[in-house]
Copies of this chain bind each other. A is one copy, B any other.
Amino acid sequence: MENQHIRKAGLKVTLPRVKVLEILQGDSSLHMTAEDVYKRLIENGEEIGLATVYRVLTQFEAAGLVEKHHFEGNVSVFELNRGAHHDHIVCTDCGRVEEFVDDVIEDRQRAIARERGFAIKGHSLIIFGECERPECPHRRES
C-alpha cells in the first residue's frame, strides 16, 4: 500500500492523491507533465481538477515522493522518486527519456563545487541526442 507513503508525508489519504500516485506508478515513460497526469486521470474517468494535480504534485515533491525536472521549454516534468539518484538522456526527436548514473561525473561535480567554495545542494544534468529506436522519427535507414 503506497498510501502509507502519503500518510507518512503528513498528508491525508484522499482520492486525488491516491489516483495521482497510481498514475505515476503506472507510467512507463517515467516522466509526465502535470497536464499529462491530468489527461490520464480524465481518461480514467476521474473527476479531478488540474489545479489539484498541481497541488498534489507540489506536495509530493516537498515530501520527496516525486522529483521535478526541467528538460526543455518552460514545462516541468515529474517522476516518481524510486530512491536512487540518476541523470537523464533525452531524445530530441521522439522525446524518449533514459536514466543513467555515472560515478565519475558525480565525483567531478563534487570536486568542482568544493574547488569553487560552493556547498553543493544538487545538480541537474541532461544529455540531449537522437536515439536509434525504430519508432524515432529521425531513425537513419538501415
Residues of A within 8 A of B (CB): 70, 72, 74, 76, 89, 91-92, 98, 100, 102, 104-105, 108-109, 112-113, 116-132
Contacts and interface: CB of A to CB of B under 8 A. Distances in A.
B128 A122 contact: yes
30 contacts: A70-B70, A70-B72, A74-B74, A74-B76, A89-B112, A89-B113, A89-B116, A100-B112, A100-B116, A102-B108, A102-B112, A104-B104, A104-B105, A105-B109, A109-B127, A112-B127, A113-B127, A117-B131, A117-B132, A118-B127, A118-B129, A120-B129, A121-B128, A121-B130, A122-B128, A123-B126, A124-B124, A124-B125, A124-B126, A124-B128
A125 B102 CA distance: 13
A119 B94 CA distance: 13
A72 B92 CA distance: 20
Nearest to A124: B126
